[in-house]
Structure 1
Amino acid sequence: MRIIREKLAASLCVLLLCGAPLAASAKVSEAEAEKLGKELTPLGAEPQGSKDGTIPEWKGAAIFNDEQKHYTFAKLQQLRSADPDRLNMTRTAQGEAVDKPLFTITAQNYTQYAEHLSAGHQEMFRRYPDYKMIVYPSVRGHFAPEEINEAVKYNATHAELDGTDDISGARLATPFPIPKNGAEVMWNNRLKFRGVSAVRRYNNQAIVDADGSFQISKLIEDVRVEYGNLKDKSRENNVIVYYLQRTLSPARVAGQITLVHEIFGKGTSGRNAWIYNPGLARVNRAPEVGFDNPSLGSDGLQFNDQIDMFNGSLSRYDWKLIGKREIYIPYNAYTMSDPRYKYKDIIRKGHINQDLARYELHRVWVVEANLRPGHAHQFKRRTFYLDEDSWALTLVDCYDNRDKLWKLQEGHVITLPFLPGSTTVPEVIYDLQSGRYFVTAMVNEDSVNNFELSFDREYFLPKNLRSLGERR
C-alpha cells in the first residue's frame, strides 16, 4: 500500500486546516496503537456505552441489515419513489425500536439539560420560544471497510503533524486516531474516510430571512476524491479532492461554474480555484477562496471556511483540545432528507422545522480555536464538536470579535452503510444576531446523490470549464 507524504491545508469542497505553531506531534507507541479494534474502536472511539446507559455501546456494521449494506444507486432511486421509509436506516435497524422519541427539550425546560447542550443550542432556546429538540435513543452505526481500519492503525504509529500544516506518513484515512492536540482532531475530520471515490451531489441551498421568506439556489457538484480513494491509489499529485460546482439557479447566476483543487503543501493557500462566468464566457482564477471571505450564493451568511462545516488553513488560530463531552447532536437525520418533505416544509421563521430533526446523546471531541494575535478573521473564537465514532464535525459555536456568540453551525449526521461512510445533510448556519440563516446540502426535491460515477482527473482541468459552460 502506498504511503503518502502529506502537507495538507485543505479538504472536500474546501480548504483544510492548520493552526498555531507546534512542535512535530509524536507518533503513538505500538502498544498504544494496539488498543485500536480492542479497547478502542478501529477509528479510535470508546466502544463502551456511558455509565448510565444513555449512550449505548458501539455496534458499527451490526446495526444494519444486509439489504442496507448493498443498496445500489438504482435501488436508492427506486426506494426514493416507491418506499422512502426504507431509506431511514433507524426505522429498519436491527435491535430496539429507535424511531420513537425519548423526550423533548423546549425553551421552558432546556436549563435542565444545559450540561449536554452547546452554547449555540442554549442560545437558540433563549431566542426562539418555539424552538425544541426531540431526543431519540442513540444509535452508533458508523463503520469503515477493513482496509481503512488497517490504514488507521498504521497511521497511528506513522503519521506526524509538523506544526499544523505538514502531515507525513499518513495514508487513506484518519491520520490521528489517538489524538494529542486540537489540530490533530481537526485533521481527523478533514481526512476522514468518506466512503466514495467520486460522487455527483444535487445541492439545494436556502437563504432564509428573519421573516421566514427564502430563496433557493440549485447546484450540481461533481467530486473526485484523491486522499482515501480505494479504487485509485496512484495519487501522483498533491490534490486531496477535485470539486466542480455548476449553478442552475437563480437565473442571475445560472451557468456559473466553480472549480476547486484542494491541495496540500506547506506555504500553499490550501486550494486553487477558478470561476467560469457565462456572461463573459471567460475563466478567471479565483484569488480569495478561504477564511472569512463570503462563499458564493450565501449572501454573506456562510464564510468559505465554513463550507463542509470547516475547511481551510488553521494558521490564523491557536487550537486547544478541551477533551470529550456528552452532547445532544443532530444524528441519524434521515427524515431531514425524506423526499416527502419539500423545502417549504423544512424552512421556518428563525430556524428549520424541528419536528423533522433528530437529536441523540453522543460523546464528542471538543476543540477550541482562538484567533492568534496579528491575524484577522471575523470569528475571534470557535468551539468545534466532533462525533467520536465518525470524526464528523456536527456543531460549531462561532464568536465575533467582541467575543459575543454570533453563529451556530449544525451538521445533521447520517450513516450510509452501502458506502460505507457518514456525512452531514443538511448543514445549517444560524446567524444568532440577525435572525437569518443559511441551509445547504438539501436533496429532498432532487435525485439521490450518485456514488457510482467515476471522473477522470482531466475532467477537473481549468481549460475544460468553458466547454462545460457552453454545453448547458
Structure 2
Amino acid sequence: MNQRLVATAACVAMLGLPWASFAGVSADEAAHLKTDLTPLGAEKAGNKDGSIPAWTGGHTTPIAGDKPGGRRGDPFKDEKPVYSITAKNADQYADKLTDGTKALLKKYPDTYRVDVYKTHRTAAAPQWVYDNTFKNATRARLDGETISGAHGGIPFPVPKSGAEVMWNHVLRWRGSSWQFHIDSYQLTADGKAVLTTDGVGDQQMPYYLPDSGPDKFGGEFWLVKLTSSGPPIRAGEAIVGRENLDFTKSQAWVYLTGQRRVRKLPNPCCDTPTPAAAGVMSFDEIEVFTGRLDRFDWKLVGKKEMVVPYNGNRLLQPKTDAEVLGAHHLNPDFVRWELHRVWVVEATLRDGKRHQAPKSRYYCDEDTWTCLLADRWDANGQLWKTVWAQTFVAPDLPGVVVGSFGFNDLLSGTAFVGNLYNAKAAHYPIVPTYSDSTFTPDAMAAAGAR
C-alpha cells in the first residue's frame, strides 16, 4: 500500500506544475482509512524490525501528574534512552538524521546530543475528527494552492502532492480552542539567553468547531491573540492574527504601547519577521511552517524512517526555563527523540517570487501530519537554518500537539526557542469556544494598556 501511494505521489510531484488541480481520492482509496491506514492516513502497521510499532489507537488515557487546566505529566517518565547519537557516532545513523541535526552535532560536539527512546505511536483525535477526515478524503480539492471542500479533519489523508502534505500540517488536529502561557528566548552566538516574550495567548480553529462545516466557517481556519507582559520594553504589546484558506485574505494587527494604537501589518507572511517573536523568527517558521504555499513549488519526495523529536512531555517537567535552555540549544537531557515514519517534502522558490530561503526541506510525521523538522538553505546554497518543533501528548484532547518550537541559525550561531511552558502554571489548557470578537483589532485596542 505505502509503496503504491509514494510512487503515485512522486510521479505527480515530479510534474512540477504549480497550477495543477487535484480532486479527492476515489472511494476505494478512501476505504483504506478503515483498514490498513489509521483514521488520519498513516500506515497502521509497524515496520519490519518492530522498531516502529503498529498504531493501536493512540494515547487517550489520563497521564499521572496531569492537572486539568494546569501542568502536564510525562507518560514515559521512567523510560531511558535506547541509544544516544553524538558527533562521534553520527555517521552510523546518518540515514536517519536530517542535514540540520547532523550539522548541530558537528557544530556543538561537546553539548548537542540526540537521545533516542522507544517509539510510541500516541497520535489520536476525537471520533468526529476521524469521521470528517474520511469525508475529506473524497470531497477535498486543491486548485493550485487553494483548498476547498474540507472541514473538521485532515484534508488529504491519502496525499498526492507535496502541497497536500503541507496543507495537512497547516490544518492538523490540535484542538478547537485553547490557551497558552509562554516564555520565548533568543540565544545569542556567545551563549546568552535573552527573553523576547513573556505572554499569554488564545487560539481557536474555526475549521475544527463542530457546529461548522466546509461551506459555513468562512475560510478563516486559525485565530490567535498574544499579549505580552514582558520583557518590560514589550509589556502591553499584543498581536492578533486571522489565517485564511485564501492566503490573500489572511490578516494580522499589532498593538504598540508607545503609540497606544493598533496597526495592521501589511505582510503577515512568509519571511517577514513576526512581532510575536520580537522579530527574531519569520512568520513562516512558526511551528516549523505557517506560511503561504504560493511562494514555492512543492515536491513530495516520499516517506522515510527518521529520528525526530516526539512525545516531548519530558521537556515540560522542569519548573524553570533555565533548566531546559542550553547555551546554544535545548538541554538534551530533556529532549526526547524517537524513530517515526515521516513524509519528506521539498520546497523550491517559484520563478518570480522572493524569499530569504529559496530552498527548504520538511519532515512531517505520518501519524499527526505535524512537520517536526525542517532545513532551510540561503541564496548561496548554504545550509542556513534548521527549524524544529517539540510535541507532547495531550490525552484530554486527545492528541499530540506542538509545544515549544524554534530554530538554529547554523551560520551566525544564534538560535530561537519559542513557547516554553516550564515556568508557567498551565500547559496548553483546553478552553470553551471563544467569541469571534476576541480575535479582532477592536478588542485588542480596548484591552491595550502600557
Q: Find the aligned partners of 1:446 and 1:416 in 2 and give their Cα distance.
A: 17
Report the CA distance shift for 1:236/1:346 in structure 2 as closer, same or farther (over 3 A).
Answer: closer
* Cα distance, 1:454 vs structure 2: 3.1
TM-score by length of 1: 0.87
Distance of aligned partners of 1:270 and 1:107 in 2 relative to their CA distance in 1, 3 Å threshold = farther
Give 1:255 deviation, angstroms.
0.7
- Counterpart Cα distance in 1 of 2:320 and 2:66: 24
Query: Is it true that 1:392 corresponds to 2:389 in the alignment?
Result: no
Counterpart among 139, 162, 167 of residue 182 in structure 1: 162
Matched, 1:293 2:262: no
2:33 maps to 36
- Identify which range, 342-351 or 315-324, moves more after superposition: 342-351
**For 2:49, which of 47, 52, 59 is the aligned residue?**
52
CA contact (8 A) 2:162 2:300 kept: yes
Which whole-Å deviations, capped at 9, do the CAs of 1:86-119 have from their partners, x for residues lacking one?
x10224xxxxx7x121111111000000010001
- 1:344-383 aligned at under 5 Å gives the runs 344-383=322-361
Distance in 2 of aligned mates of 1:45 and 1:385: 14
Equivalent pairs, count: 431
Question: How much has 1:314 moved relative to structure 2?
Answer: 1.0
CA 1:144–1:410 in 2, change beyond 3 Å: closer, same or farther?
same
CA distance 1:439–1:125, shift in 2 (3 Å)? same
Letter of the structure 2 residue corresponding to residue 285 of structure 1: K
1:66-465 matches, cutoff 5 A: 67-68=62-63, 73-74=68-69, 77=70, 80=71, 87-91=73-77, 99-130=79-110, 131-164=112-145, 166-195=146-175, 197-216=176-195, 217-230=197-210, 235-265=216-246, 268-296=247-275, 298=277, 300-338=279-317, 340-448=318-426, 449-465=428-444
Task: Give percent identity, aligned residues only.
Answer: 35
Letter in 2 for 1:252: I
Are residues 300 and 281 of structure 1, via their aligned partners in 2, closer, same or farther at CA, if it must alter by over 3 Å? closer
Is the 1:208–1:214 contact (alpha carbons within 8 Å) kept by the matching residues of 2? yes
Specify the SS of the correspondent of 1:189: helix
> Is the CA contact (8 Å cut-off) linking 2:386 and 2:410 kept in structure 1?
yes
Question: Take 1:432 and 1:469, find their aligned partners in 2: how far apart are those partners?
Answer: 38
Q: Which amino acid in 1 is paired with 2:369?
A: W
**Alpha-carbon distance in structure 1 between the residues aligned to 2:424 and 2:407:** 22
Q: Secondary structure at the match of 1:355?
A: helix
Offset, 1:37: 2.4
Structure 1: which 5+ runs fail to align? 1-18, 92-96
For residue 21 of structure 1, the aligned residue among 18, 25, 50 is 18
Superposed CA offset, 1:391-424 (max 9, x none)? 0110001100111100001111222111012212
Residues 27 and 68 of structure 1: is their aligned pair in 2 closer, same or farther, counting only changes over 3 Å?
same
C-alpha deviation, 1:297, in angstroms: 5.6
**Aligned CA-pair RMSD:** 2.0
> In the aligned structure 2, how far is the partner of 1:341 from the partner of 1:378?
36
**8 Å contact kept, 1:69–1:418:** no
Amino acid at match of 1:431: D
TM-score, scaled to structure 2: 0.91
